[in-house]
């Protein structure tokens, strides 16, 4: 049972929703999300995870092309 299952809040500034996913803080910050500092993991609610996916979609596609998958 992880922190998300226990009901941790979203790590994005000014968001108090329950988290749905967790990922590294570096990835979240590279997507342009303002994450609270001092944590290894960034916990994102559904809305912010959807925003993260939209912002990183092009990068993922370029990586697939680069590696021939």
Q: pLDDT of 13-37, one tens digit each?
A: 999 999 999 999 999 999 999 998 7
Q: Is the pLDDT of residue 39 over 90?
A: no
- % the chain with pLDDT above 90: 83
Task: Report how far residue 4's alpha carbon sits from residue 10's, in angstroms, rounded to the nearest whole number.
Answer: 9
For residues 4 and 67, give the distance between their C-alpha atoms in angstroms, rounded to a whole number. Answer: 32
Which structural domain range is residue 36 located in? 3-67
Number of domains forming the structure of the chain? 1
pTM for this structure?
0.86
Q: How confident is the model at residue 51 (pLDDT cuts 50, 70, 90)?
A: very high
CA distance 38 to 69: 35
């Amino acid at each position: 049972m992880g922190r998300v299952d226990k009901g941790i809040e979203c790590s994005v500034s000014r968001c108090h929703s329950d988290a749905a996913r967790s990922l590294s803080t570096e990835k979240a910050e590279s997507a342009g999300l303002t994450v609270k500092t001092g944590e290894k993991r960034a916990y994102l609610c559904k809305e912010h995870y959807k925003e993260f996916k939209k912002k990183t979609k092009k990068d993922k596609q370029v990586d697939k092309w680069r590696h021939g998958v």
